[in-house]
Amino acid sequence: MGKLNQIGIMALVFTAGCFTASVVKQISVPALHANSTAMKWEQTCVSSQQVGARGGVLGDQEAKGWDDVVKEWGAQGWELIDTVTSHSMIRAACFKRSM
């Protein structure tokens, strides 16, 4: 391979590396700095007894009691994140909201 070919290949590799670096820089996730504010969440779990919901079988009409609970808590800014079940019965629901 001649010297001119080697220089051409090196220039091509250099250009490809520069292009790749510029693309990666655009799509990378920015670092979290110490002075930035991270989202803070308030979390709670409530049982069917606490909120008066029926602990119906999943997929059954009885479980609709939880729909009312989720709508009520949602109106107060809470987001449903999980449910706790036992023997296919909804026993509790866990919510979060930003502080």
Q: Which pLDDT does position 78 carry in this prediction?
A: 93
Please state the domain count of the chain: 1
Q: Does some domain include residue 6?
A: no
Residue 50: pLDDT band with limits 50, 70, 90? confident
Provide the pLDDT for residue 52.
Answer: 75
Range of the structural domain that residue 93 is part of: 41-98
Q: Average the pLDDT over 4-22 and give the result.
A: 72
Question: Is residue 4 in a domain?
Answer: no
User: Is the pLDDT score of 63 beyond 80?
Assistant: no
How far apart (Å, rounded) are the C-alpha atoms in residues 67 and 88? 17
Cβ atoms of 36 and 68 closer than 8 Å: no
Residue 53 lies in a domain: yes
